[in-house]
Amino acid sequence: MNEMIEMSLVNWSRLQFAMTAMIHWLFIPITLGMTYIIAITQTLHVKTGDPHWEKVSKFWAKLFGINFAIGVGTGIILGLEFGTNWSNYSWISGDIFGAPLAAEGIMAFFLESTFITVMFFGWGRVNKKFHLASCYLVAFGASLSAFWILVANAWMNNPVGMEFNPITARHEMVDFWSIVLSPNAINKFLHTITSGFVISAFFVIAISSWYMLKKRNMLLVKRSIIVASIFGLTSSIYLTATGDGSAYEVAQNQPAKLAAMEGLYDGTEGAGLVAFGILNPGKKAGDDIDDFLMKIEIPKLLSFLGYRDFNAFVPGVNDLVYGNQAQGIMSAQDKINEGRLALTALAEYKDAYAKKDSTAMELSLTEFKKHHFYMGYGALQKPDSIIPNVPFIFYSFHIMVILGFAFIGIAALFLFLGLKNDLEKHKWLLHVGIWTFPLTMLASMAGWIVAEVGRQPWTIQGLLATMKSTSNINTNAVILTFWMFLALLLILVFAEVKIMLTTIRKGPDGIEKGGNHA
């Protein structure tokens, strides 16, 4: 009964955090990319002296401002949940996790919020070059903010630069720069921010496509589409490169996530990459039924992407759960046993420390260090719990990848026809442009599902299970605040969408109904 109550608390805490994070993420990607689009169009105004480029910048800045304000509000709620719902995690890892978040507030958000005032209220009031510099500083501040947050997130997926203090039972930072510059952090930042660039590019394309279908603001629309399609095409292409880097890091540090991403149950040398597949819904770890009902596979590509070797062995679900002695892979049950030995030794060490028994302290500390690498596994009950939900991760990953490649083609087509000044004749593409924006959001959400749900059952990979990370509070309190936050956040979303749509209908500088307005 106590375990059921505990898991209910864990599940509701996870659900609340996921709901808050996903609503928050509706706003952040647009913020990340729109700043650069505004800076680019304002650069063209300063370089050419054409006042219409300033009109373009002002219009997109107006939409950016609406989105920025709501994004800040949802982010505050998200930050508070670390203290209310995940206080055990915050206590154990606050020394490390809190450092990049503090840097984000002090360095990045301060920079962004300072110069955003100049950007919004400096049109025609300050020197053009200073105003342009402010636009770029806002863009840089938004990117820097994302960097520090993603450093913290990357550490949860690959904990480096730290040591565990057995006296305080906390992780303590020993190498700040190994955390900040870890390959996992760099790849996660580049992939996530580039995803935001793609989303913002198609946000501009979607609104511009709607204007073009209505034959409104045609000069603004054509210029916006050229800028956004170049920005979106280059970002989409680079996104595939950063995706490759991210997948490599997953293979090195989170093999269970990789196995789920590819629906790989039995490890193999020269593993192929599943381009498209339908999983067998009845498949479980350890059974002998087929993994897929059907699949299209690219031979040996998974081995190369994961290990830079076409013939490398890629472990599957069964290897990770039951072990593979030939490949030197320990079974999950053995890791659980090791983890329990570590936890027992830790308890004995703390007891000896309280009694000031130095001999017992030394013995228990030595025993703890022998097994501490698997400390987190000691909280798990079943070996197969180390594997995340395979269908959820598999389909999320493949939706993200398929859409990612589609965005390259769509952006290229918009750019080609935009440069030919031929877009108006292709109404079907303009409709595609409108609908591609929500698809970019879907792809981004799918990516976060792969990253965060794919990490389960861990809050900190291998070191701290999610079930041990929650606050010691009543489940009903979490349920109540879940519905309260959901209602509040939906009101904010509704308000943001309504304000945004009203602003779009009015058009730049209030130009609205009828005609081929510039």
**What is the C-alpha separation between 491 and 115, in angstroms, rounded?**
28
**What is the C-alpha separation between 112 and 143, in angstroms, rounded?**
9
The string of pLDDT tens digits covering residues 498-507 is: 999 999 999 8
Token reading at 440: 């970019």
Determine the pLDDT at residue 512.
Answer: 54
Give the list of residues 6+ apart from residue 311 with CB closer than 8 angstroms, or none. 269, 270, 300, 303
Rounded to 5 degrees, φ, ψ at 269 are -80, 145
Is the CB of residue 12 less than 8 Å from the CB of residue 479?
Answer: yes
**What is the C-alpha separation between 341 and 272, in angstroms, rounded?**
38
**What is the C-alpha separation between 188 and 195, in angstroms, rounded?**
10
Average pLDDT, the chain: 91
Determine the pLDDT at residue 106.
Answer: 81
CA 243 from chain centre, in angstroms, equals 12
Q: Is residue 290 part of a domain?
A: yes
Q: Which strand (E) or helix (H) includes residue 244?
A: helix 218-253
Q: Which strand (E) or helix (H) includes residue 164?
A: strand 162-165
Token reading at 479: 């349920």
Q: What angle do CA 324, 327, 333 make, to 5 degrees?
A: 35
Strand partners for 91:
none
Residue 382: band (very low, low, confident or very high) from pLDDT cuts 50, 70, 90: very high
Give the list of residues 6+ apart from residue 236 with CB closer than 8 angstroms, or none. 198, 404, 407, 408, 411
Q: Is residue 232 part of a domain?
A: no
Residue 511: band (very low, low, confident or very high) from pLDDT cuts 50, 70, 90: low
Say what the pTM is.
Answer: 0.91
**Alpha carbon of 226 to those of 196, 208, 412, 413: distances in Å?**
18, 10, 10, 11
3-class secondary structure for 6-63? Answer: HHHHHHHHHHHHHHHHHHHHCCHHHHHHHHHHHHHHHHHHHHHCCHHHHHHHHHHHHH
**What is the C-alpha separation between 518 and 510, in angstroms, rounded?**
12
Determine the pLDDT at residue 367.
Answer: 93
Flag whether pLDDT at 153 surpasses 60.
Answer: yes
Nearest to 229 by CA among 12, 517, 436, 474: 436
The string of pLDDT tens digits covering residues 165-223 is: 988 889 999 999 999 999 999 999 999 999 999 999 999 999 999 999 999 989 999 99
The domain of 274 spans 262-327
Q: Is the dihedral of CA 503, 509, 514, 518 positive or negative?
A: negative
Residue 152: band (very low, low, confident or very high) from pLDDT cuts 50, 70, 90: very high
Give the list of residues 6+ apart from residue 490 with CB closer than 8 angstroms, or none. 23
3-state class (DSSP) for residue 460: strand
Flag whether pLDDT at 510 surpasses 70.
Answer: no
Flag whether pLDDT at 484 surpasses 70.
Answer: yes
3-state class (DSSP) for residue 331: coil
Cβ of 449: how many Cβ atoms within 10 Å? 21
Mean pLDDT (whole number) for 42-67: 93
Q: Is residue 301 part of a domain?
A: yes
Flag whether pLDDT at 386 surpasses 60.
Answer: yes
Half-sphere exposure of 364 (CA within 13 A, CB side): 19
Q: Is residue 517 part of a domain?
A: no
Determine the pLDDT at residue 513.
Answer: 54
**What is the C-alpha separation between 4 and 263, in angstroms, rounded?**
29
Mean pLDDT (whole number) for 146-163: 92
Determine the pLDDT at residue 110.
Answer: 78
Flag whether pLDDT at 111 surpasses 90.
Answer: no
Q: Is residue 298 part of a domain?
A: yes
Question: Mean pLDDT highest for which of 282-291, 368-377, 390-399?
Answer: 390-399
Flag whether pLDDT at 518 surpasses 50.
Answer: no
Determine the pLDDT at residue 4.
Answer: 46
Q: Is residue 277 part of a domain?
A: yes
Q: Is residue 280 part of a domain?
A: yes
The string of pLDDT tens digits covering residues 431-471 is: 999 999 999 999 999 999 999 999 999 999 999 999 999 99
Domains: count for the chain: 1
Q: Is residue 293 part of a domain?
A: yes
pLDDT top residue among 517 and 400:
400
Determine the pLDDT at residue 509.
Answer: 63
Determine the pLDDT at residue 517.
Answer: 46
Flag whether pLDDT at 281 surpasses 50.
Answer: yes
Count helices and strands in the chain by DSSP H and E runs: 17, 8
Determine the pLDDT at residue 349.
Answer: 92
Nearest to 58 by CA among 121, 125, 127: 121
Q: What angle do CA 207, 211, 216 make, to 5 degrees?
A: 150
